[in-house]
Amino acid sequence: MATTRPRAARSRRINLRATDREEKLIRTGAGVKGLTVTEFILESACLQAEQALADRREFVATAKQWKAFTEALDRPARIKPELARLFAKSAAAERERRK
């Protein structure tokens, strides 16, 4: 799935080496998704980087970032009707399975 965000100008170069098998696999994967090899590699690498960073246990924040974070945590929760309906359906389905 290609990203729908506006593309920023790419000005940085990342070089890599691959085996013949790896190159063919990457080109085939990119073709199946309708992406260029560059788009495919960047999308895949960025996804992996985001997942790796999300797993970090320690976060460093500036005083301003920490204040915004704690204010967001302190805000009262908002009920979202769409989510309430979704969770209600899931609970009903679970009860039916237990019968």
Residue 56, pLDDT score: 77
Residue 39, pLDDT score: 95
Report the predicted TM-score, pTM, of the whole model to 2 decimal places. Answer: 0.50
Residue 16, pLDDT score: 92
CA distance 71 to 65: 10
Instruction: For the chain of 99 residues, list the mean pLDDT of each consecutive stretch of 10.
Output: 67 93 97 96 95 80 95 92 83 65
Q: Where in the chain are the domains?
A: 20-98
Residue 85, pLDDT score: 86
Residue 87, pLDDT score: 82
CA–CA distances in Å: residue 41 to residues 3, 71, 73: 13, 37, 36
